[in-house]
Amino acid sequence: MRRPRIRTAGRTPAALAGAVPGPAFEITFDGRPVRALPGQSIAAALWAASVLTWRTTRVNGRPRGAFCGIGSCFDCLATVNGQPNRRACLLPARPGDVITSQEGDGHAGLVR
């Protein structure tokens, strides 16, 4: 017996779950405005804005973004509100957050 096909094309996860998020707000990424929703992680907001990478590795400068999405791998590190090495996949986006690409260990140019 075949299962009936459920059409999901064009439907979002929020629509499938019946979620009604609050009003969108703005964060910035490297000076560019990015729309975010309440409860959305910084990584999810960046993904939704087609931003896939926001840091480079320490050794070879290779691009990185979210990989595991659960805070285990540290590929999603970003500088958030001036604080380097923040895991964007775990950090909820907040109105006015300023996210900047992170190069290497994130400490270049910081006063120690």
Please state the domain extents for the chain: 23-103
Q: Are the C-beta atoms of residues 40 and 93 closer than 8 Å to each other?
A: yes
Tell me how far apart the alpha carbons of residues 54 and 24 are, in angstroms, rounded to a whole number.
22
Angle at 51 between CA 111 and CA 46, to 5 degrees: 75
pTM of the predicted structure, to 2 decimals: 0.76
Helix (H) or strand (E) holding 47: helix 42-48
At 35-83, the pLDDT tens digits run 999 999 999 999 999 999 998 888 888 888 888 888 888 888 999 999 9
CATH number for domain 23-103, candidates 3.10.20.440, 3.40.50.2300, 3.40.462.20, 3.40.50.920: 3.10.20.440
Angle at 92 between CA 44 and CA 95, to 5 degrees: 100
